[in-house]
Amino acid sequence: MKPLVIDSLIPEVYQNELKQTLSHIPLYYTSSIGYDENTPPADGIKFLDNIGFSHSLVMQGKENSMDWELFKPILYFFAEKTNVFVKQVLRVRLRLTFQHPDREKFLFNKPHTDLPDHNGPYKTLVYYINDSDGDTFIFDKFFNKEDSRNVLKDIDKKIILQHTPRQGSAVYFEGHQYHAGNTPIKYKHRYVINFDFTI
């Protein structure tokens, strides 16, 4: 399956409602959106590391937030647009990132997959809450369980899709496909919702 860009995934009135509601949803600080002790840089390769804030709506297939009901209809509009129907929601997370002084030194953040430990195929949908210049990159390589870490070991990876966030748009692709976000330069922040699910 080739990655798919979906413009105007949800109606504009719903887009704006989400943006207004987000100011009332608690977000939790993380000191590093790029690395953790289980996924260190590969072979000394460094990518941009930045602070971030997140809120997990669904974790390990279970509802984790009372705000989930507000975002759940996004998947109904997705089904209507693509004729792809969600079987099980595995994880849904809000992610907010900001500008970084070293942003221009790096093309993207750390390439990764959302759920490297998930057995079997799954899909990922990234929905963009606001316009931003923090592009999403999708690569031609897929995570393999035999790999020791959820990182790309070579820097010469092939980018097959680069998408600039536009409010209301989304990117749909294979869950085990490596992808990377980015940090904005011109815009103050980048706000996305990551959906991981089976179909």
Average confidence (pLDDT) over 17-22: 92
How far apart CA 124 and CA 193 sit, in angstroms, is 10
- Strands annotated E in 31-129: 52-59, 62-63, 88-98, 123-128
Question: What CATH number is given to the structural domain containing 41?
Answer: 2.60.120.620
Say whether 94 sits in a helix, a strand or coil. Answer: strand
Residue type, 94: L
pTM score, whole prediction: 0.90
Q: What is the pLDDT of residues 73-85, one digit of tens each?
A: 999 999 999 999 9
Strands 170-174 vs 189-198: parallel, antiparallel or unpaired: unpaired
Q: Which of 52, 74, 87, 164 is nearest to 125 (CA)?
A: 74
Token pair 């809000």 is found at 94
Task: Note the pLDDT of residue 37.
Answer: 47
| Residue 190: domain span | 4-198
Q: How far does CA 32 lie from the centroid of its chain?
A: 15
Task: Note the pLDDT of residue 188.
Answer: 92
How far apart CA 129 and CA 108 sit, in angstroms, is 19
* H-helix segments, the chain: 12-22, 68-71, 73-82
How far apart CA 1 and CA 4 sit, in angstroms, is 9
Percent of the chain surpassing pLDDT 70: 84
How far apart CA 54 and CA 43 sit, in angstroms, is 28
Average confidence (pLDDT) over 178-197: 92
Domains in the chain, number: 1
How far apart CA 170 and CA 157 sit, in angstroms, is 23
Residue 33 has pLDDT above 70, yes or no: no
Contacts of 62 (CB under 8 A, 6+ apart): none
Q: What is the pLDDT of residues 35-66, one digit of tens each?
A: 554 555 555 556 777 778 999 999 999 999 99
